[in-house]
Amino acid sequence: MSQRDQWKSKFGLILAMAGSAIGLGNFLRFPVQAAQNGGGAFMVPYIVSLLVVGVPLVWLEWTMGRRAGGHGFGTFSAMLETLWPTNAARYLGVIGIGIPILICAYYAYIASWCAGYAVFSLLDMFPANADRDSMVAFFGNYLGGDMRKVAIAFFVATVAANLYVNARGVSRGIEVLATYGIPLLFVFGVVLVVRTWTLGTPDPSKPDWSVWSGLGFIWNPNFSELGKASAWVAACGQIFFTLSLGMGVLGCYASYVPKDDDIAVSGIASGSLNEVAEVILGGSLAIPLAFAFFGPDATVEIAKGGTFALGFHSLGSIFQHLPLGTILGFLWFSLLFIAGITSSVSMTQPLISLLMDHYGVSRVRAAVLTWGYIVLIALPSIFGDGYIDELDFWAGTVGLVVCALIEALIFAYAFGVERGYALLSHGALAKIPPWIKPIWKYVTPAYLIWILARWLWNDAPAVLAMEGVAPEQRVWKWIGRAVVLGTFAMIAYALAKAPRQVDRELVKKELASL
Amino acid sequence: MSAGGWASMIFFGSAILAVTGWSIALLMRDRAARKR
C-alpha cells in the first residue's frame, strides 16, 4: 500500500481541524440560537453540552481516527471496524461517509453565495438604497431570477477551488488552505467586531437601538429558559453543528496524524479555537448589528427568519449604510466564504479516503470523482425548491446524531472505555481526566438518545408527512430522499466490493493485547 | 446590556480564551522541547 499523506505540522493540523469546525453556523446560527433560547442563560446548557457531548465526542473521534489511520484507512467504516471487527461495523460506517457528502451538496452551494456577495459588495453592485426588502428581492433574483447564471458561475468557481485543494491532498492542499485561511478569518472577524463595537447608536433619534443593547439581546440571562427542554436540545444541536461532530470528518482528519502524536490537547486546541470564533466573534456581530439598525422587534423577526435572512438580507443591507461599507461587506462575506470552504474541503475527505485507501485510486482522480458526484447531487439545490431542507433535515440534523450515537455505543460497549482511555492517553501532552470514562459510557449515549428521540418524536412525523409543503416542492423533497438513500446504498456497495479492507485478524490480535 | 449580560459575556468569553491559551501554550512548549 502506498504511503498515506500526513499533516506537516501540529499547528497545521489544528488549524485544519478548526477550519473544518468553523463554518457559517458559527456566525449565523449560534447568535440566533442564543437570542431565542435565554440569551446569556443559553450559555449554561451550551457549556454543559460542550462538556458532556462536545469534548467527549471530539476526543472519541480523534482517537478512532488515529487508530484507523494506523491501519491505513480514514473512512468512518474503517474506524468502526478497527474498534469492532465485524460486518455490522463496516456497514454502519456507511453513514459517516455519506452524511458529509450529502451536506456538502448544499453547503458548497451556500458557500458560493458568500463568494458572490463578497464580489458584489466590493464592486458596489447591491441595490442603490440597499434596504432589507430590496436585499430580499436581490437574493431571490440571484437564486431564481435573472442572476441565476451568475450564481451558477460562482458555484462552478467554488467547486473548482475545492477540487484544487482536495486534489493537492491533505498536507499540500487542506493544511495550506487552513494555515492561511483561518488566521485571515480571525483578522477579518476582529476588524468587523471592532467596527461593530464602535458603532454606538447609529440613529441618535432611537437611543435604545444601540450595539450594546444588541449585545444584551444575546447575553442578558433569562434563567426561566433553563427549565425548558427546548433550550437544552437547541444547545446540544448547536454543539453538534459547530464542532463538526457525527460526520466522520474529524476522525478522517485524525487518521493522518502520526500514531504516537498527541491528540488530546490538539483536540481541545482546535475545539476551543472554534469556540472563540463562535462565541466571541459570532456573538459580537450579526445580532448586535441587526439590533442597532433595525431595532428589537425586527431583530426577533429576522432571527426567526433564519440564517439567510440574517446573513444575506440584513447584514448585506447594514454594511451598505456604513462608511467604507463596500469593504466591510466584502470582509463579512469573505469571512463566511473562508469559513465555508475550509469546512467543505473536509466534508469530501471521507469519500476521497474511501477511494484512495480502499481502492488505491490516485488523489487527483479521487477528488475529481468525489466532486463530480457532489455537483450531480447539488443540481437539485440550484433548481429545486425544498431539496436543501430535506437534505438538511435527514443528513444535517438527524443523521449527525445517529452517526454520533453509533460511534459512541461501539466505542463504549464493543471496544470499551478503558481501551479508549488508554489510546487517547497515548502521546497526550496532559493527563486526561478519568471522569471521561463514565461520561463516554453513560452520559454521552443517554444524552444523544434523548436528543434523537425528541427530534424524531417532535419533528420527523411532520417532515415525513410533508405537512405544509407546497405541491411544487414535494417532487424535490422526494428527490432529496432518493438521493439520501441512493448515496448510502452506493457507498455500502463500494465498501462491499473494495479490494482493500481492514485486516480483522490483526485487529482481533491487537484487541486481545490492549 | 444588563449587569448579568456583562457578567456572562466576560465570564464565558474569558473561560474560552483561557482554555484556548492553555492548550496552545502546551503545544508550543512541546514543540520547543522537540526542537531542543
CA distances from A15 to A20, A209, A329 (A): 8, 37, 25
pLDDT at residue A39 greater than cutoff 80: no
Contact present, A102 and A487 (Cβ < 8 Å): yes
In chain B, what residues touch A216 (CB-CB under 8 Å)? 1-2, 5
Average pLDDT for chain B: 91
With a CB-CB cutoff of 8 Å, which residues 211-270 of chain A face chain B?
212-213, 215-216, 219-221, 262, 265-266, 268-269
pLDDT at residue A224 greater than cutoff 90: no
3-class SS at A39?
Answer: strand
Torsion, Cα A122 A128 A132 A136, to 10 degrees, reads -80
Residue A19: pLDDT band by 50, 70, 90 thresholds? very high
In chain A, what residues touch B1 (CB-CB under 8 Å)? 212-213, 215-216, 219-220
Contact present, A181 and A341 (Cβ < 8 Å): yes
**Best to test chain B binding among A26, A220, A238 (most B CBs inside 10 Å):** A220
Mean pLDDT for the stretch of residues A101-113? 94
- Asked if A279 lies within 8 A of B13 by C-beta distance, the reply is yes
- Reference A309, options A28, A46, A59, A96; nearest CA is A28
Burial of A240 (0-12, 13-18, 19+ CB in 10 A): buried
pLDDT at A229: 82
Q: Which of A216, A265, A279 is the closest to B16 by Cβ? A: A279
pLDDT at residue A1 greater than cutoff 60: no
- Asked if B27 lies within 8 A of A265 by C-beta distance, the reply is yes
Residue A91: pLDDT band by 50, 70, 90 thresholds? very high
Phi, psi (5° rounding) for residue A7? Answer: -65, 140
Question: Between A470 and A439, where is the model more confident?
Answer: A439
- Reference A164, options A341, A13, A405, A395; nearest CA is A341
Rounded Cα distance between A89 and A495, Å, is: 12
Residue A467: pLDDT band by 50, 70, 90 thresholds? confident
> Distance, in angstroms, between A263 CA and closest chain B CA?
11
In chain B, what residues touch A40 (CB-CB under 8 Å)? 4-5, 7-9, 12
Q: Which of B7, B8, B19 is the closest to A268 by Cβ? A: B19
pLDDT at A38: 79
- Cα A170 from chain centroid? 18
pLDDT at residue A403 greater than cutoff 90: yes
Mean pLDDT for the stretch of residues A360-376? 97
The residue of chain A nearest to residue B21, with distances taken between CA atoms, is A269
Bridge partners (DSSP) of residue A221 are: A39
pLDDT at A303: 83
Q: Fill in the amino acid letter for A468.
A: G
Mean pLDDT for the stretch of residues A11-28? 95
Which residue carries 482522480 as its cell?
A365
pLDDT at A186: 97
pLDDT at residue A171 greater than cutoff 90: yes
Rounded Cα distance between B6 and B36, Å, is: 44
DSSP class of residue A40? G
DSSP class of residue A394? I
In chain A, what residues touch B35 (CB-CB under 8 Å)? none
- Reference A13, options A270, A264, A268, A245; nearest CA is A270
* Cα separation of the two ends of chain A: 25
CA distances from A387 to A23, A370, A416 (A): 21, 20, 40
Residues A142-170 pLDDT 10s: 988 899 999 999 999 999 999 999 999 99
Rounded Cα distance between B15 and B2, Å, is: 20
- Reference A104, options A47, A172, A159; nearest CA is A159
Compute the half-sphere exposure of residue A496: CA atoms within 13 Å on the CB side of its CA. Answer: 9
Count of CB atoms situated within 10 Å of the CB of A125: 14
- Asked if B4 lies within 8 A of A11 by C-beta distance, the reply is no
Rounded Cα distance between A341 and A348, Å, is: 11
Question: Between A308 and A23, where is the model more confident?
Answer: A23
Q: Fill in the amino acid letter for A388.
A: I
A324: left (phi over 0), alpha (psi -120 to 50) or beta: left
3-class SS at A37?
Answer: coil
Rounded Cα distance between A339 and A190, Å, is: 14
The residue of chain B nearest to residue A279, with distances taken between CA atoms, is B13
DSSP A236-255: HHHHHHHHTTTSSHHHHHHT
3-class SS at B31?
Answer: helix
Asked if A178 reaches chain B (Cβ–Cβ under 8 Å), the answer is no
pLDDT at A310: 87
pLDDT at A2: 58
Count of CB atoms situated within 10 Å of the CB of B29: 11
In chain B, what residues touch A47 (CB-CB under 8 Å)? 12
pLDDT at residue A383 greater than cutoff 80: no
- Reference A52, options A235, A263, A275; nearest CA is A235
A383: left (phi over 0), alpha (psi -120 to 50) or beta: alpha
Contact present, A168 and A256 (Cβ < 8 Å): no
Bridge partners (DSSP) of residue A39 are: A221
ipTM above 0.90, yes or no: yes
Question: Between B35 and A108, where is the model more confident?
Answer: A108
Most confident of A178-192, A214-228, A384-398: A178-192
pLDDT at A462: 85
Average pLDDT for chain A: 92
Asked if A193 reaches chain B (Cβ–Cβ under 8 Å), the answer is no
pLDDT at residue A59 greater than cutoff 80: yes
Q: Fill in the amino acid letter for A13.
A: L
